[in-house]
Chain A
């Protein structure tokens, strides 16, 4: 008799399983769990802490807050950040001071660990929300973060 009860039990479990998928099939009109990615670009908003890429915010006067202390360069485990710097006379204090020439960021080497942003004493670099990083040539992934002609915001000390 266990032969038949086994069969009935088996069929019952199979039907329960079909019930689960069947329920989702009937509710499939309510919408999918997947995203329609390129279509929802306008409404797609990343979380505010999202780690997309490292950016350097500039204000309206084209000024940033990077003093060129190179702490981020040391903190980076992969050498994604290279700071090319120079010494120049500061306009305000008249002292000789370090200033950045180019803040080079290699997105292709970056692992998004966030250590550079963590150590930055002046909050000169931040996480950007951009995640669409595909390019045709990988040299385009090497970026200079400070804009041309930009300078250090007066009063920022590390």
Chain B
């Protein structure tokens, strides 16, 4: 982005402001070039690349086992789901039969990851609209989940629990009881979230009718996840292309039709309930069996192209592998949900105030490393 382009568009009343890369509301190193008229936003241009680590290129160098750990670092808040996506894609290419136990455990941890990600999002959402206490309440509940993850996989955030062919190790003996404990705890906390923030009249004023995204626009911008579903676009990969054990469980897709910031917010709150119910259905019947199918030390995918999509906490993550039969992919492309969700920011934020932009951005739930990769 050259400064000259901005200058040529300048009108006397409009001015230009740099939001980020160091700004509290951009949740990382996103830089937004804002053209503002007073308080009203005229143009938003996201400028990316501040945390680009060329993960896709690194994948072309690594073996398939090694690729998994790189995906932890993309959307770090749904690390386990990313890992699962790569593993599923490799397993699909190798036509492996995965034990039921692995599928169920992957689904449970995936849904817990989603709850954990939404907890953090809820806290940060509150903070973005100015209610600072939500941050700590969100993190309090997220810590419990992180403890479960740490006990099971040894890491709190970058879990790397999946390997092609199953899981790195079996679940911890305490896992089931701890998850049940968490479910009972968290069921009392979501109503509290509602009382503190969702029902608050100021919060309603801040979010209702702000950043409206129509269903048509959601589809044409490629929005997915809660952003798409907030606009009434039914796009849950878990429903339409069930993977792992998701075909065995019964859950509703959270959909709102308003398309505004509050709708996206409600979708996420609703998703926490749905994820809880999925975990509840599965936690008591984890089938016995192997937790891992031994694979060759060097995995070589047959020549061809493979694609697998999963639903991360932010939307649809696609993994596209082109293999030439060697130990590492010829090309690996991640279709990350954050990138397409960010692309519609200019569309929905223009005409709003600076405060609206912040609230809208909070419900897009951007994770910048996921966008830059």
List residues of chain A with CB under 8 Å of any chain B CB. 9-10, 13-14, 16-17, 19-21, 33, 46-47, 49-51, 71, 75, 77, 111-115, 118-119, 127
Q: B150 touching A47 by the CB < 8 A rule?
A: yes
Q: How far is the CB of B7 from chain A (nearest CB, A)?
A: 43
Chain B nearest CB, measured from A72 CB (Å): 12
* Chain B interface residues (CB < 8 Å from chain A): 62-63, 65-66, 68-70, 72-73, 133, 136, 140, 143, 147, 150-155, 158, 160, 163, 168-169, 172, 192, 195-197, 199-202, 297
Tell me the complex Cα distance, A90–B87, Å: 41
Q: How many Å lie between the Cα of A112 and that of B160 in the bound state?
A: 9
| A contact residues around B172 at 8 Å (CB) | 47, 49
Main secondary structure of the interface of B (DSSP, over half): helix
Query: How many whole Å from A43's CB to the nearest CB in chain B?
Result: 16
A112 to B153, CA, bound (A): 11
**Contact indicator B158/A17 (Cβ below 8 Å):** no
In the complex, the 5 A-B pairs of residues with the closest C-beta atoms, listed nearest first: A113-B69, A10-B201, A77-B66, A49-B154, A51-B154
Given A111-B69, A115-B65, A47–B154 Cβ distance below 8 Å? Answer: yes
Name B151's closest neighbour in chain A (CB-CB).
Answer: A47
Q: Give the distance to chain B from A137, nearest Cβ to Cβ, in Å.
A: 25
With A33-B140, A47-B150, A50-B150 in contact, is A118–B66 under 8 Å at CB?
no
8 Å CB contact of B195 from A9, A16, A119: A16
Complex contacts, A71 vs chain B, CB 8 Å: 297
Task: Report whether B65 and A49 are in contact in the complex, using a CB–CB cutoff of 8 Å.
Answer: no
Contact A17 B143 (CB under 8 A): no
- In the complex, are the beta carbons of A20 and B155 less than 8 A apart? no
Contact of A13 among B143, B199, B297 (CB under 8 A): B199
Q: Which residues of A contact B68 (CB under 8 A)?
A: 113
Question: Are B199 and A16 in contact, CB atoms less than 8 angstroms apart?
Answer: yes
Could you pull out 15 A-B pairs where Cβ atoms are within 8 angstroms?
A10-B201, A14-B200, A14-B202, A17-B195, A17-B199, A20-B192, A21-B196, A49-B169, A50-B150, A75-B65, A77-B69, A77-B70, A113-B158, A113-B160, A127-B154
What separation, in Å, do the CA atoms of A10 and B199 have in the docked complex?
9
Question: B140 and A112: CB pair below 8 A?
Answer: no
Q: How far is the CB of A35 from chain B (nearest CB, A)?
A: 10
With A and B bound together, what is the CA distance between A9 and B205 in angstroms?
13
B172 to chain A minimum Cβ distance, whole angstroms, is: 7
Cβ of B201 and Cβ of A13 under 8 Å apart?
yes
